[in-house]
Amino acid sequence: ALRAALAAAELPPEAIDYVNAHGTGTPQNDAMEVGVLRAVLGPRLARVPLSATKSQLGHCLGAAGAIEAAVTVLALDEGIVPPTVGLRAPDPAWADLDLVCTPGRRAPLGAALTSSYGFGGHNVTLVLGRAEGR
């Protein structure tokens, strides 16, 4: 889903400035997601702020993807990377990642990824960009 989204947006991995992860906070799911991000974004991932909206809102199930897309649009519009609330001891294997904890932070954002993964292989990634002239 991630590769297809980048191809549809006609953007290289280097254009991504923020990742709003699916981020369920479960070891297997989070490890799978980080593995996919590493495979697709490569070394760029170490320089891309990454956070998880579910840490603030919980898992909204069927509405999660739409809510997280809206949060990503707001992040792009305001130039603020929202935090992953409650993240205190990330997996040591992720020490190279730019995990955004409390508080969030300002950042120049042009393009972002937001992904949602569901049971049965129902996965989607959106590439969202800042509106021209903003």
Where in the sequence is the domain holding 64, given as residue range(s)? 2-129
Strands 111-118 and 18-21 come out as parallel
pTM above 0.85, yes or no: yes
* In-domain check, residue 112: yes
Domain count, the chain: 1
Domain contains 134: no
What CATH number corresponds to the domain at position 120?
3.40.47.10
Burial 40-63 (b: 16+ CB within 10 A, else e): bbeebbeebbbbbbbbeeeeeeee
Q: Is residue 27 part of a domain?
A: yes
pLDDT score for 4: 94
Tokens read off for 102: 């409390």
Helices and strands per DSSP (H, E), number in the chain: 4, 7
Taking 70 as the pLDDT cut, the residues of the chain under it are 55-58, 60-62, 119, 133-134
Q: Is residue 6 part of a domain?
A: yes
